[in-house]
Structure formats: structure tokens, C-alpha cells
Structure 1
Amino acid sequence: MSSYYFSPRPKSLGPDELPRSHSLKQKKSMERSRREASYGKSPLYELYEALPSVSHVVPRVHKRRSEKREWAPLKASKHAQETVNPIRKIADSLAVAPNPAKSAIKLNLGDPTITGNLPPSQAAIDAIHEIIDSHKYDGYGPAVGSLEAREAVVEKFSTPEARFTADDVILASGASHALDMALVALADPGENILVPAPGFPLYNTLCQPNGIHTRQYNLKMNDGGLIDLEHLESLIDADTRGIIVNNPSNPTGVVFPKYHLEQILKLAYKHKLVIIADEIYGDLTYDGAVFHPMATLSPKVPIISVDGIAKRYLVPGWRLGWAIVHDRYGVLTEVKKGMVALSQKIVGPCALVQGALPKILRDTPQEYFDNIKEVIAKNAAIVYEVLSRVPGLKPLRPQGAMYMMVGFDKDIFGEETKFMQGLITEESVYCLPGSAFNLPNWFRLVLTYPEDVTRDACERINEYCHKRLRPVNYLAPKLSLAVDDGSEGTISNDSD
């Protein structure tokens, strides 16, 4: 028989059952002796004695709480306080009144729907109407997304070079939410993720409150906006968990060529790092540029591809994105489980849009995308044509996404915030300062307006800049333009 046994608890004698001549201390001692005799040498007896008697537990009231007399303001949690999007702060600094004599042109907003120039496809609208009328998607669905919607993603994006199944797809409330799940599932507090500079500021916003550090690798703004691979590799250490690669790039509009993507993959393979491929702008390319999904290229490394319908399908408010886990070598098996667990925090994205997704992906015609590309390409050509002629400005010609970056010489035009404020107060033109993307002395503008509006905005910028040119500036054939990647660029009156 095992030495671990447990006898029935003996009946304790109450105080009235002991001789009245005994003191309370003596009575407790006698009761203890009787228990010991009953339990013998059972090891469980020691555990029993260690347990507090419920009848003798006195509720403990926190002194500070019990003495409160008035309500006091509460601080937001540390997590909330550390959730910061720099664009908000920068936008506040530009809260100046526009010129009332000129209509406002807001080239600072990355929402392609605000101009009315690029509406959603009829296929998307019809799909939503059909799903609403069907009442098949009024209830909850799986947290990772409905099977039909995930299978639609497989049908649209799976290729022989990068096959995946519906089990590898996790739907999200927009691509930003997919990025959030990927980052939190991949990295622990104290570990780091490599992110581009200039780059989408939300990467840092998602990492910082979770204790994940971001290390910014430079894009070479004087070399076509490609990644400085030497600088990127210098940032890698034992705590690096992955690399975010945004292609086509926000804010630069640069589309990485195939050879450059393969260079990045070789580096990731060498250091055994996961890549998070932010491909929300996908094949939204023009002027001969070709988009290559990273998961289709070699060498094969574990990749989490992030995409959605916000930008190419022009419905950012519908909030549907996804992450595709390309689990090479079994590296991401546990990470994928973590992402599935994290998806339960919002109980899945909008069921109505999920229901419409198969029809949206299947029935949106190629002509729809061709029109978007044509609008953006024509606007890019206008901006480049006009602003390249302005001394002190240096536009970087894009080939994808829906943005263009323009560098300016601060020795001519002054500090960034004042330059942007002046554009608003004098010309009613809004642009987004490069500091929002960790690239000071540049600004970003969107390319989704009608052509006449874009040309008007550029002429206003041209006029504003020429007011600030001193005669000496016209005599200098080339002007220095410092960029934050440590290199030195030049601004020429001739476009390059």
C-alpha cells in the first residue's frame, strides 16, 4: 500500500465539549493532539495543517481603497500610453488655416476614396448588395475567417512557386490588423524587428506597446529607393526575429526589382530570419514595373505575406485583409498557432465583407485595375514634370503604390514644419511631411486626384517655392540635398 494515504477528517471537539477548567490555549493543544493521533504519519496531514481555516479568515480590505473619499482621475494603461502614431502629432502641428481664396487640395491623405475619382468596382458593390440581401452572413463566423473567403484567397493568389491552402490564411480587420497579429505572434518583448526608413509609421505603432523594438534600415533615396543591404545586415543580432519588406513601398512608390528581392531573401536565409512581406499595394504598378510576390522567389525562406482589399480594390473602409503563412521548414508552425489564437481577440473580421470576398476577387475585371494604374501614372508624370523644374526640389519618380516623395533643400525653404504650414496658409495645399516616415526634409503627396487638380496643386507648390528663392540660388547649377541614409544627393535643375 502506498505511504500516501488520507484518512477521513476527525470530528473536532467544540469548546463546550472540553472541561471548562482548561484555558483556550490548552483546549487548542488537546484538539491538535487528537488530530495527530487520528491522522497518524500521513504526509497529507502536513498539507492539511498548512491550509487556513475558512472560519478564521478575516477579509482583508486594502487600506488605500477603503479610505477613498472622492473620485480621482485614472491614468491610461502603459500599453495605451505607448501606442503612438507619429502622423497624429505631425497632423496637429499642421493645424493652420488655409488660404480662404483658394480651394483646399489635400494631397496628404492616403485614402483613395476621398477624391471621388476612383470609386469601388461595380463587382464589389454588387457582391455586398447580394450578401446583405441573402442574410447568410448576419451572424458570427470563425475567428480566422470563413472557409469560403479563405478559399477565395487561395484561388486568387496561390501559385505553383508558392502554394498554400485555406489553413494557411488568416483573415483580419484590414492589413494593419494582419500585421499586428504577425508581429505579436512572432516576437516577444525585448526582441526586435527590422523595418524600412522611410516606411509606414504603423510598424512602430504596432510594436512599441508590445515591448517589441524596431530597428530602421535605410532606403537609399539617391539610388532609386532600394534597400541599403549592408546597413540592414549591420542591424541584425541574436534578438532579431524578422524583417518587414514593404513592396511596392509606402511612402516612396518604389517597386523593388526581382534581383533586389532575391538579395533580401539571400540575406534572410543566411541569418535564418522570417520575412513579413507587406504587399498591400501588390501589382498596383505602372511604367513597366513588375510586382514579384516574395513568396514566389528563391531562396525559399519562411514568409508571412500581408495583403487586403483596401488599396487595389479601393475600399479601405471595408476593413478586410489577410495574412498568408508560408511555413517553410516548419519554422512558423507555432507562430501560425499564435496568430490563430490572436485572431480570437476580435472574433473575426466583418462577416458581410467576408461573404462578398469571393465575388470581389473573382469578378473584378482587369480593366478596373488598368484604369487605376493609368490615373496614378498620369498624375505621377504631372508631378514629376512640374516639380523637377523647381530649384531646390527633388521628386523621386515612383513606379507603384499611389504616392510620390519629393525632397526639398531646407537651406532654401527652411524647416520642414514651416515649409508645410506655408503651403497650407498661402496655397491651401496639404502634403504630409517626410518626418512621419522618418525622412525629414521630404514630403509625400498622393496621386489619386483628377489630373487637373493634381496639376493645379503642383503649380501652386511651384509658385510657393519660387517666392522663396533668392537670386543666388538660380546661379548654383547644383544644390546639396542631405538625406537620412547618410549619403549625399544633389538637386539639379535638369531632371534625371
Structure 2
Amino acid sequence: MNKPWSIRASTMSRNTQNLIRNIVEKIQVKPNPNKNFIPLSIGDPTAFGNLTPPEELLQAVRNSLDENESRCYGLTNGALVARQAVAEYYAHQGQVSADDVILCNGCAQALDLAITVLAEPGQNILVPRPGYMLYRTIAEGLGIVIKHYNLLPEKNWEVDLKNLEDQIDDKTAALIVLNPSNPCGSVYTKEHLRDILRISAKHRLPIIADEIYEKFVIFDNKFTSLASISKDVPILVCSGLTKGFLVPGWRMGWLVIHDRQDIFSKDIRDGLRNLTGRLLGPNKLIQMALSKTLTTVPQSFFDSVMSFIESQAKLAYKELSHAPGLRPILPQGAMYMMIEIKMSMFPVFRDELEFIERMYSEQSILCIPGQCFDFPNFMRIVLTVPEHILREACARIQQFCRDHIMQENNIN
């Protein structure tokens, strides 16, 4: 008798979960067919077409099309000319050479490389709560434990420094700092970053700095890269073109090694180089356009985008402050706003996910529940939608809150 087939998915694949996709894509209800669907859930600044990349970037890519080099295989860590361009772009953060740069398939791969090279299965990494869910997706698939440190909404989402230090143990391999923050929109001061560096130095803990939103800073806040002020803590900076240059679909990111005291062993650098061999380098066409992109796009382009985001933040904050039962928190950067849902004022809903599902079915608006960021009783909205759509969304959210608080008052 033939042996029966028995094929199972690998442990890594079973342990790899994406919280946002798992929750949002499994929503059972349908939007209200009588109202246009407004997705305030999409973390893509280009989704509505109102924000477009700079012409200088587009022209650089057009020129790259004509270069034979853009069609060839390249080094797994990226073409030398492209890595040099990134190194020069980050010269203000400290001395960086092309050898300190790895080009990646988006910032997501940079994070994957950083986590994978620093942590072993069974070790843990520290990640912010609320924070970007991809850290958990990457780590848990590899058998690396996630430990959360808390952010403080009443202090513009600063790190709870005591709570951070309390999470560190002898199995902690790295600390992830997300600045500016997704989903919070926080931008840390230089003083606060120095406090984080002191804790990291005390415990000999390397930092993975997720700075993909480095261009997204509003309301006169200033972005400071951790690498620019670190004297002795080794840092892997992860960033890319995705958000600031408005080309998320082009998947061009990078990892930059900042290690002033040569604390990272050659083993770490060799490990990163080895890991790049798994995907054989990112899009060569975009690589060959990097030098022109990073030197010709004017500051006025970024200023214009940030002016729009700032205006949108003011609008959403003002309108949603009038929604009964909600407490919006004005962001300092990124492209999101976190909103507290005072669930005690909506006892007809079990949790914020049920609140969001009902709002989706009645008002055709989809937001991201706080559960996706390990932070219940909140929801996240994006600010990059066109102004008239954001106004309409805020009006519908206000109406939804009024409707359901009124229902509860009638019950009593």
C-alpha cells in the first residue's frame, strides 16, 4: 500500500502572521452600498493619486531605462554607485561609506535583515507599543520573542523610559526605535533620544532605528536621527524612498550601519552580506536612478507635502474633537493620527474592533483598530487622502458616534 501524502507548512510560515491583514481582511461585514467607501486604513500616501512623486525622481528613472547597467544583475548588497549615493545622503549623520550601506527591497527588507542578523531564536527584541506590526511578523516567524515597551499618549507618545528599561533581560538582543512613529505620529526630541541612548549604552544594547518617515515632520518639530547623536551605541538605520519620495511600490530601501566605536564585529557585517544573498539585491532600475534622485529633488517638494499633511492633521483634529466619545491626539509627524475611543461611552460594542466594523457597515469608512498595534481602545486613520474626502470621513465618524451614544442614552 502506498504511503499517504503528508505535507505541512513549515514552522516559520505558520508562525509568520501579519496583524493588520489578519484583522482587517477578516472583517465579515460589508460597507454601506449607499455611501462611497472611504479607506482611512491604507498606509500608502499615493493611494488616492493626490500626492505624486517629484518630477526629478521620475526623470532619473526614465534616464535609467536607457542604461544597460540598469538591466543587469548586480551585487547582492547593491550597486556601488547607488550605495555611494546613499552614503553621501547620510553624511550629515556621521561618517558613512558605501561599505556601510546595504540596498534593500524596501524598508521592510532592511528591518528583516537587521532583526535577523542581531537576534537568535529564543532571544527577544524590544519594540514599541503601539508600534508597527511588521516587527512582530518578522521576529515571531524566526522564533524571536517580542517584548513591548510602552509609549505614553499623554506625552505625545514618548517612550516610558522606566518601562523600557524594565523589559531588558539577558536574552534581549536589540531595541527597535521608530521615529517618526507609525501609528502614533510622534517625533522625538533630541533630549528624549539621548535618554533612550543612555539606557541602550548602559545595557550594551544595539539599536535598530526605523526612520522611514524621516521626511514626515510637521508643526515646527525637528527630526533627529539617532545615529547623528550616538557616541557609542551601534545603530542599524532602516529607511528608503518609500514614504518621503512617494514611491512605495518601487520597493527601494536601505540599511545604513552606524558604528563609531567599531562595536559591531566583522561577524555582523559578514552576516548582513550573507543575508542579502537570499534575495540577490533590489530593483536595479531604481538603484541606478538613486544618485540623481538623492541630489536633485528640491527641499520645496518635501515642504509642500508636509504643508498638506499639517493642514490635514489640523482638519482631522478639529473635526474629530467634536465627535462624542473620541479623543484624537494631534500628531507631530508621519501621516497618521491615533484616536482614543472611549469605549465606556459605547457599551453596545464589545471592543474597538466591533466599533470599527459597525462604522464600516453603516458609514462605509474603514479605520485600523488599535489591536493591530497591540493598543486596544484606539483607532488609526491616515491623513493623506484628499481634503474633501477627509472632511466627509470626519463628518460620517461624528454622525456614527452621535448615533450610537444616543442609542445608549435611550436604553438607559
Structure 2 length normalisation: TM-score?
0.96
Map of 1:64-463 to 2, 5 A cutoff?
Answer: 68=2, 72=5, 74-159=7-92, 162-333=94-265, 334-413=267-346, 414=349, 415-463=351-399
In the TM superposition, what whole-angstrom CA distance separates every residue of 1:394-435 from its partner, at most 9, and x where no partner exists? 111101110000010112222212211111111111101110
In the TM superposition, what whole-angstrom CA distance separates every residue of 1:142-200 from its partner, at most 9, and x where no partner exists? 000000100101111112x5111100001110111011111111111111110000000
Which deviates more, 266-275 or 297-306? 297-306
Give structure 2 stretches of 5+ with no counterpart: none
Which deviates more, 405-414 or 455-464? 405-414
Alpha-carbon distance in 2 for matches of 1:116, 1:329? 45
Alpha-carbon distance in 2 for matches of 1:464, 1:317? 34
In the TM superposition, residue 75 of structure 1 has moved relative to its aligned partner by 1.1
For the Cα contact (< 8 Å) 2:323–2:397, is it kept in 1? no
In the other structure, the counterpart of 1:467 is 403
Amino acid aligned to 1:356? A
Partner secondary structure for residue 375 of structure 2: coil
Alpha-carbon distance in 2 for matches of 1:446, 1:276? 25
Amino acid aligned to 2:303? D
For the Cα contact (< 8 Å) 1:305–1:323, is it kept in 2? yes
Alpha-carbon distance in 2 for matches of 1:345, 1:191? 23
Amino acid aligned to 2:86? V
In the TM superposition, residue 132 of structure 1 has moved relative to its aligned partner by 1.0
In the TM superposition, what whole-angstrom CA distance separates every residue of 1:273-292 from its partner, at most 9, and x where no partner exists? 10110000003101011000
Compared CA separation, residues 386 and 186, structure 1 to 2 (3 A): same
In the TM superposition, residue 212 of structure 1 has moved relative to its aligned partner by 1.0
Partner secondary structure for residue 201 of structure 2: helix
In the TM superposition, residue 330 of structure 1 has moved relative to its aligned partner by 2.0
Give structure 1 stretches of 5+ with no counterpart: 1-66, 474-496
Structure 1 length normalisation: TM-score?
0.80
Partner secondary structure for residue 372 of structure 2: helix
For the Cα contact (< 8 Å) 2:85–2:290, is it kept in 1? yes
Alpha-carbon distance in 1 for matches of 2:145, 2:269? 21
Amino acid aligned to 1:139? C
Alpha-carbon distance in 1 for matches of 2:90, 2:196? 22
For the Cα contact (< 8 Å) 1:266–1:299, is it kept in 2? no
Alpha-carbon distance in 2 for matches of 1:91, 1:348? 31
In the TM superposition, residue 471 of structure 1 has moved relative to its aligned partner by 8.9
Partner secondary structure for residue 406 of structure 1: strand
In the other structure, the counterpart of 1:491 is none
Partner secondary structure for residue 380 of structure 1: helix
In the TM superposition, residue 121 of structure 1 has moved relative to its aligned partner by 1.3
Amino acid aligned to 1:429? I
In the TM superposition, residue 472 of structure 1 has moved relative to its aligned partner by 8.7
How many residues align? The count is: 406
Partner secondary structure for residue 469 of structure 1: helix
CA RMSD of aligned residues (A): 1.5
Compared CA separation, residues 458 and 73, structure 1 to 2 (3 A): farther
In the TM superposition, residue 391 of structure 1 has moved relative to its aligned partner by 2.3
In the TM superposition, residue 375 of structure 1 has moved relative to its aligned partner by 1.3
In the other structure, the counterpart of 1:58 is none
Alpha-carbon distance in 1 for matches of 2:204, 2:81? 34
Alpha-carbon distance in 2 for matches of 1:80, 1:89? 14
Alpha-carbon distance in 1 for matches of 2:215, 2:71? 32
In the TM superposition, residue 117 of structure 1 has moved relative to its aligned partner by 0.8
Alpha-carbon distance in 2 for matches of 1:144, 1:167? 9
Alpha-carbon distance in 2 for matches of 1:202, 1:306? 13
Alpha-carbon distance in 2 for matches of 1:199, 1:471? 34
In the TM superposition, what whole-angstrom CA distance separates every residue of 1:356-390 from its partner, at most 9, and x where no partner exists? 11111111121211111011111111110011122
For the Cα contact (< 8 Å) 1:219–1:228, is it kept in 2? yes
